[in-house]
Amino acid sequence: MKKMILTLAIAVSTVGAFAREANVSEKVLNAFNTEFKAATNVEWTIATDYYMASFQYNEKYINAFYSTEGELLGLSRNLSPADLPLNLQTSLKKEYADYWISDLLEVAKSEGTSYYITLEDADSKIVLKASGGNGWTNYKKVKKA
């Protein structure tokens, strides 16, 4: 489930519409409206075993993932490298100076906050993960064609 949420969160980047489309269950709508009263531009995506709301909140674009029972599974949002904890910024500059950042995502769940960053160079693309502000670990590496 965690990888599914991350994969969908990375793939989603568009926002539009308002909440009552696509047959979202009342439990999920009530949970969302309680948690994010000030949300605007809400768009729902329905999967087999979860719902995802993409929306604006406090001038940021956020994705919220809910179980079919209305339980908040986690949140994700795109970040600027300047928004990372300082130790993670420093580590990137030291260890990955030859790469450029193509994607940066913060994922918040009840277990804590994790960061996923996609770095590229001419030959490869790597995804790193940092949990709780600790150092980066390799999450995935792909060779470019």
- pLDDT per residue as tens digits for the range 76-127: 999 999 999 999 999 999 999 999 999 999 999 999 999 999 999 999 999 9
Asked which of 29, 53, 74 is the last residue of a domain, the reply is 74
Residues 68 and 90 in one domain: no
My answer on whether 10 and 58 are in the same domain is yes
- Domain holding 129, by residue range, is 81-143
Number of domains in the chain: 2
Q: Is the pLDDT of residue 31 over 90?
A: yes
Per-residue pLDDT, 144: 80
* Percent of the chain topping pLDDT 70: 85
Sign of CA dihedral 90, 93, 94, 95: positive
Give the pLDDT confidence score for residue 133 in this predicted structure: 72
pLDDT band of residue 132 (cuts 50, 70, 90) is: confident
Alpha carbon separation from 39 to 8, 59, 97, 126 (Å, rounded): 20, 9, 37, 33
CATH number at residue 131: 3.10.450
CA distances from 90 to 7, 28, 62, 127 (A): 26, 40, 26, 17
Distance separating alpha carbons of residues 119 and 99, to the nearest angstrom: 6
Mean pLDDT computed over 69-77: 96
> Residue 123: beta bridge partners?
none
120-141 in b/e burial notation, b at 16+ Cβ within 10 A?
Answer: eeeeebbbbbbeeeeebeebee
Indicate the average pLDDT of the chain.
86
Same domain, 92 and 109: yes
Q: State whether 10 and 68 are in the same domain.
A: yes
pLDDT for 11 beyond 90: no
Q: Among 74, 84, 73, which Cα is nearest to 117's?
A: 84
Number of alpha helices (DSSP H) and beta strands (DSSP E) in the chain: 3, 8
